[in-house]
Structure 1
């Protein structure tokens, strides 16, 4: 096992990794930019190294500075978190060449899945369902028009190296292709340095469902169930849950087995996620198609931890150290329901305008755990409740524990504190609010109560919007698509109507 871990990231994910590392007995190293000099992740680590100025391009995105910090502090492994350098093949390779373990997949797997066109070809060869489309080189707009016509409208045009909702355009007709093809190329070149575009069939009533994978360096790859991430705004996830209210056990097995086949085809190990687009109109259970593979830890990994009882960060560290997975596919059981809401510094009443500034007041709801401790201990199976020795906290196990907290729990993953600043330089996410309960309805009820108790002042935030989503009849019914927000709030968010009883009570007061 390693002695010292450096986290090449900031904010809540750095804090998240440090909690597990400390519980495992590892010493920790933080890196920071000038904007983050007093951030919680810096204070939490045993050591901290300044990288440079606030812009990420001059600090967190400089591999040579990260590696220098690792050498100076004696760190023998680096966890990249998500974003920044987490899916950069050259960084993973540089870590290996420097004799420092990269807590993630091998460089060749990152490269194979990093190019969307090549990834789809690999997926098809591995027997994974792929959306009908054209994956070759597209010469020009006329060629694009012919391809779209052959596939059949509607189609989606996507930048090959795209991500995060950038470089994507939906075309319902030939006119849309003529108008959007060159624009998609330009956006791909500007954002990713790659102007290649592919075209595929647009799946109507689409649901975004992803399979969490975990593999070791000895050939074992397991799937840990699915997450539903259909509620998105401009292709950015807002709400995630596990399991999905749409997926049947048979469908879960089929998706999981195909995801495992793809991972094995590229020699994958560590944690990773295969993203799928699923037709909500398909009742056969076969209408799911490969979108892409994220070769890193996902933002929404806590919901999988909540229903499996696994600490994915611990598993990543153990895999990087060469250990075998201590359990098999049959040991993975999904228990209860978990929902995650991303609390952002943005104003939903003003078109979700980003908000920056000082957190004059920051008081998250009382959380019973900041992370799910691993349930894998000698003599214990997956899903067995084990308290975390690091801080005396334990996230509720999937089965009701003796402590009586079987009715649910709240988890808050954050990397901010009262008096801190939400900077213009980084992602505006303030915290991830996670609830677990035996049923989906109970987990949603816990979200509403926790959001009501969440206090933020000084910056705009989306707490009201998230609460409205949790109480929306369509969400409660599980009738989700990736167009949920656009369909239910076409004119933007203006607040949820108060119940008549509440209005009467307030009037009386």
Structure 2
């Protein structure tokens, strides 16, 4: 076994690998750029080596710099994580030449499966079902249009060397094919250094289901069930679960056997994933093989009890897999929610800045991972449901514009799917993130969505259910009443504290009144609060009683309560005027709790009108201006491209919302802009 390994990555995946290596007694080496000097993975590793400036091309994917770090530290093996150099055959070859073990598959397998055109040919020869498409090289946008017409719209335009949703576009007509071809080439060149593009038929109403495989160097190949990855946005996975609510055992076995056949065909060893598109009739088609550890690997670990990182390390060290296909069992259900630094209210555009507050829910061990003694946090208590958070950030840290916007992967496990969903709801409500835009409200909304709860999902779920973008969550009146009751009880506690501090009371029960008015989301409820040592009973004027029990104290930003015996978790900030800013179940609410007279006066106050920005194009995210498509005096039509802004490795084309004439342009290509900076004005 190795004494020391270097992790050629950053963020949460570097931290994840370090945890397993530490448990195995292996020393670790982190690498870091200027932007990551104080990153969590640097703090966790036994050693750390600086490798260059923030841009990944000058640090994390600069093979010469990584090789220098390996030589400097004497690392015997390298775990590449995912992304960056994880599927780069030149890196694998450089390690081989230096006598350093690559904790991943053979270079030949990376080359064969890393090229999507070649991989589809090999898959077909191995008896794996494939999607119709054009696998040859495409010269220009006009040829892309011609090929797209021959295949038949809609089509998927992809980077041959791509992954992670980068360099990928769906085209429904000629114009989108032209535009998508060029954007895909640009993103592919920037992300992978390879701008080759191919086109295939886009399967409508598809589900994205992938098979996890493990192979050793002794001829053993197994599959560890499947993961459902259909909740996607811009071809980027957002929520994953294992197993899939759609597959039956026969389909699972057929997909698993085909995945293993493909792994054998390329002489695979290590962990890998074979991705499939599955239609409504459970017909499945090969999409690609990822010759690395997947982002969503934790859900497979949670239902199998197998530490995939550990097995990768052991296979790389020459060991045999300690189990056969017959030994693999799937127990319970696991869900992963990817927490992104992005603003769901601004069409999920990236967000950067300092994490002024970062408090994940407490991890809890349960299920196969706990039973197998492989829970990654040894201090985690045991429970009936599991909570796991893979992260690479900490409170006070910075979210940079240079790297992927994912900041954590929150996972839950339970004996069944309904239990895993409920555990995720509670965990998301308890996850505190401040200082940046984040997608927790959207994740919470999905957990409560009837289609998701039913398992009726496709890769078009987000586009179909949120066609105008995410506008927040509207809670039912009953849910609002529960929040109102909780807020009233909490406000009473805060009033008691204020009265004691001010010296207004000897006996607080005598000085804090019982009659209050709660205003929330357009509702106005007079209530009466009766308190005792165990909690409060909040009686609504229309004869509804809510029993509220909690140990919440003023100043705490997380309130864990029971309302009529049911759990309610609220993120809480007190606001002026008597009340709270409350976030729960994806909703953000202002709740005012006032005396009847104060409520009467508040109703007379005018509301402040927001500033008019209707004639301005504002930068929707921190980013770099790549291109300006218009000039002063030019008339533009609705939907016309105005400029392109790059953020976190993705190009975003900003379009005109209505017809108009450009009056002023305030930005130029190469400018770095912040959120809401003015790019141009219109007459």
Instruction: Output the TM-score relative to the length of structure 2.
Output: 0.68
Q: Hey, what does 1:312 align to over in structure 2?
A: 308
CA gap 1:7/1:183 in 2 versus in 1, 3 angstroms: closer
Alignment of 1:101-112 (within 5 A): 101-112=101-112
SS at the partner of 2:457?
A: coil
Q: Hey, what does 1:435 align to over in structure 2?
A: 412
> Would you say the 8 A contact 1:387–1:393 is kept in 2?
no
Q: Hey, what does 2:116 align to over in structure 1?
A: 116
Moved more, 176-185 or 335-344: 176-185
Paired with 1:389 and 1:264, the residues of 2 have a C-alpha distance of 31
> Would you say the 8 A contact 2:307–2:374 is kept in 1?
no
Q: Hey, what does 2:463 align to over in structure 1?
A: 486
Q: CA deviation at 1:388?
A: 5.0
Q: CA deviation at 1:57?
A: 1.8
Alignment coverage as a number of residue pairs: 486
For residues 78-122 of structure 1, give each alpha carbon's deviation from its aligned partner in whole angstroms, at most 9, with x where no partner exists.
Answer: 101111111111111111111111100111100001111111001
Q: CA deviation at 1:276?
A: 0.8
Q: 2:391 matched to 1:414? A: yes
> Would you say the 8 A contact 2:364–2:385 is kept in 1?
no
> Would you say the 8 A contact 1:160–1:197 is kept in 2?
yes
> Would you say the 8 A contact 1:223–1:256 is kept in 2?
yes
Q: CA deviation at 1:430?
A: 1.4
For residues 173-214 of structure 1, give each alpha carbon's deviation from its aligned partner in whole angstroms, at most 9, with x where no partner exists.
Answer: 556556655665565556545454333222111111111010
Alignment of 1:89-108 (within 5 A): 89-108=89-108
Q: Hey, what does 1:326 align to over in structure 2?
A: 322
CA gap 1:202/1:21 in 2 versus in 1, 3 angstroms: same
> Would you say the 8 A contact 1:387–1:394 is kept in 2?
no
For residues 385-431 of structure 1, give each alpha carbon's deviation from its aligned partner in whole angstroms, at most 9, with x where no partner exists.
Answer: 13359863469xxxxxxx6x3x3110011111111111112112111
RMSD (CA atoms): 2.3
Q: Hey, what does 2:542 align to over in structure 1?
A: none
Q: Hey, what does 1:400 align to over in structure 2?
A: none
Paired with 2:372 and 2:334, the residues of 1 have a C-alpha distance of 19
Q: Hey, what does 1:346 align to over in structure 2?
A: 342
Q: CA deviation at 1:33?
A: 1.4
Q: Hey, what does 1:267 align to over in structure 2?
A: 267
SS at the partner of 1:161?
A: coil
CA gap 1:222/1:394 in 2 versus in 1, 3 angstroms: farther
Paired with 2:412 and 2:179, the residues of 1 have a C-alpha distance of 44
Q: 1:387 aligns with which of 373, 377, 381?
A: 373
Q: 2:15 matched to 1:19? A: no
Gaps spanning 5+ residues in structure 1: where?
A: 376-382, 396-402
Paired with 2:156 and 2:437, the residues of 1 have a C-alpha distance of 33
Q: 2:192 matched to 1:206? A: no
CA gap 1:191/1:423 in 2 versus in 1, 3 angstroms: closer
Q: Hey, what does 1:294 align to over in structure 2?
A: 290
Q: Hey, what does 1:363 align to over in structure 2?
A: 359
Q: Hey, what does 1:220 align to over in structure 2?
A: 220
Q: CA deviation at 1:5?
A: 1.1
SS at the partner of 1:482?
A: coil
> Would you say the 8 A contact 1:23–1:389 is kept in 2?
no
Greater gyration radius: 2
Paired with 2:250 and 2:156, the residues of 1 have a C-alpha distance of 29
Q: 2:400 aligns with which of 386, 405, 423?
A: 423
Q: CA deviation at 1:461?
A: 1.1
Paired with 2:376 and 2:167, the residues of 1 have a C-alpha distance of 43
Q: 2:442 matched to 1:446? A: no
Paired with 1:421 and 1:144, the residues of 2 have a C-alpha distance of 41
CA gap 1:105/1:174 in 2 versus in 1, 3 angstroms: same
Paired with 2:394 and 2:115, the residues of 1 have a C-alpha distance of 38
Moved more, 331-340 or 21-30: 21-30
Paired with 1:294 and 1:390, the residues of 2 have a C-alpha distance of 24
Moved more, 4-13 or 53-62: 53-62
For residues 4-44 of structure 1, give each alpha carbon's deviation from its aligned partner in whole angstroms, at most 9, with x where no partner exists.
Answer: 11111111111111111111111111111122222221111
SS at the partner of 1:474?
A: helix
Q: 2:332 aligns with which of 312, 333, 336?
A: 336
More strand by share: 2
Paired with 2:17 and 2:142, the residues of 1 have a C-alpha distance of 49
Moved more, 185-194 or 473-482: 185-194
CA gap 1:37/1:197 in 2 versus in 1, 3 angstroms: closer
> Would you say the 8 A contact 1:388–1:394 is kept in 2?
no
Paired with 2:374 and 2:459, the residues of 1 have a C-alpha distance of 37
SS at the partner of 1:449?
A: helix
CA gap 1:190/1:449 in 2 versus in 1, 3 angstroms: closer
CA gap 1:84/1:147 in 2 versus in 1, 3 angstroms: closer
> Would you say the 8 A contact 1:77–1:100 is kept in 2?
yes
For residues 34-82 of structure 1, give each alpha carbon's deviation from its aligned partner in whole angstroms, at most 9, with x where no partner exists.
Answer: 2222222111111111112222222211222222222222211110111
> Would you say the 8 A contact 1:9–1:80 is kept in 2?
yes
Q: Hey, what does 1:34 align to over in structure 2?
A: 34
CA gap 1:324/1:64 in 2 versus in 1, 3 angstroms: same
Instruction: Output the TM-score relative to the length of structure 1.
Output: 0.90
> Would you say the 8 A contact 1:15–1:44 is kept in 2?
yes
CA gap 1:63/1:141 in 2 versus in 1, 3 angstroms: closer
SS at the partner of 1:231?
A: strand
CA gap 1:439/1:197 in 2 versus in 1, 3 angstroms: same
Paired with 2:179 and 2:38, the residues of 1 have a C-alpha distance of 47
> Would you say the 8 A contact 1:358–1:421 is kept in 2?
yes
For residues 117-172 of structure 1, give each alpha carbon's deviation from its aligned partner in whole angstroms, at most 9, with x where no partner exists.
Answer: 11100110110000122223456666655544543443333332333334334344
CA gap 1:63/1:367 in 2 versus in 1, 3 angstroms: same
